[in-house]
Chains A and B, each alone.
Chain A
Amino acid sequence: MSEPVADAVREGETATRTIPAGRPLVVLAGGLFWGWLLLRWLNDWLGGLFVPRGEPFVSPEAVEALGAAVPALRGLFDSTAFAVTYLPALSAGVWLTIVLTATSIALGFVLAVPLSVARVYGRWTSYLSLAYTELLRGTPLLAQLFVIYYGLNFVQYVPPLLDGVFANNAVWAAIVGFTLNSAAYQAEYIRSALLSVESGQLTAGRAIGLTKLQAIRYVVLPQGLRFAIPGWTNELIYLIKYSSLAAFITVPELFQRTNAIASDNFRYTAMFSLAALLYLALVISASRLMNAVEDRVAIPGLGARGR
């Protein structure tokens, strides 16, 4: 089956790069966001380091009072007070979102490398790898989560060692689902990156006496994986957003918490705007981080970003 390379990708995530790099306002906002998030987590994990667990750092009433003092900006202060009230609860969801994403992309990578190598260099394993990626990329992620959580009742298989790491073992089901799914997409990115490494490189490796596997490991992969970084960035951003689907198998990540609070206070618009902002902050941070990584590992003179 010959497919256009672009078929493999989750197109266009890099678009968040369009925000110019050094815009001071964005940097400031980023600093504030991550500073707040870290303080928040520290505070809540250490049992109320600065303020009682789950309590806002600044009292919403104080913010509202400020609004009363400056009537022209009243609306702005009211929204801020609203955000201040609910952000502590959401910050715990942000943590779980990050854990889900980071764990799954890392484990997915571990699966994706052999999958892609099998696809490019294997004989019958190449069909196995093809079947795996086609099946996982051809069905919805949410259906896959359902299969794992409801269909296989995965929670009962969580080994005792991992049991209790998370308050809810459904998190493990989500991690497994995201890992298996992400492995398929990452394998496609790595595959096209491997194909873009000149074939002479493998030959040269064999010529100095490396086995095929060694040549792949020490010559082709180090080059190919660098080419895979843009695709990998897409995948990371994709996972940040799609980790929200874990909510449907009861995982209390950011979306689930937002939804729970909203169905309580009925302020859907405000709550989901808040959640959207948090997701945006995560996505933009991730894409910045990956751009930096890409610059960092670029081989001088190779590739679009090489110098």
Chain B
Amino acid sequence: MSDPLLRVERVSKSYGDEQVLREISFEMDRGDVTVLIGPSGSGKSTMLRCVNRLTEVDSGEIYLDGERVTGPDVDVNELRRQVGMVFQDFNLFAHLTARGNVMLGPRQVLGLSKEEARRRADEQLALVGLADQADSYPAELSGGQKQRVGIARALAMEPKLMLFDEPTSALDPELIGEVLEVMRDLVERGMTMLVVTHEMSFARSVASEIMFLDGGRIVERGPPEQLFERPEHDRTATFLRRITQLHS
């Protein structure tokens, strides 16, 4: 068990002339919770999407569990099976119930029988506190409930790593708590999580490391206390000040 779970090595990505990621490198061990912060457009989503290859890197390498996942010969579907993703705007399958949303992956990708998939879906829904909403369609759920279904859907694939892209940004303030609570539970169960969020108190209490991204570069990184109490860069300090003001 010498390999880190996730190793990102000098990853760069451009869209046209705009360089979105510049030689990003970092590592995560099992059970780590790494929080990515940074202004809008700094490349946070792009970084996450490179990990499960919804976006392709231009250069650099990414390794999951010691295996290279960048490169043409990798089975991306197998990779995505092992890496769960939670989206800012939920992206629940609109035509399926909460249970149907969670079952689809186990049925189609893992090839479980209908009964097995159903059992697994109900388990996961119970873990996010939605046992009683299994038969509801997305449009019948609140934002917080939708996002919890989104988390259950990703967890049902039994991933090694979970990616969260601003999971609470689209939520009304009073619904944010229920989603963060589910995420806290997950941290306690030892899930490795790479999280983009601007919920600073959450980040502070669960992160093993916080990385501040700006202009496609990691400007500063470190344990939460260090970043919050003694930021080395002015830009980090300014950003943190603005973000905490905004959220209080």
Chain A in direct contact with chain B (Cβ < 8 angstroms): no
Binding site for A on B (CB under 8 A): none
Binding site for B on A (CB under 8 A): none
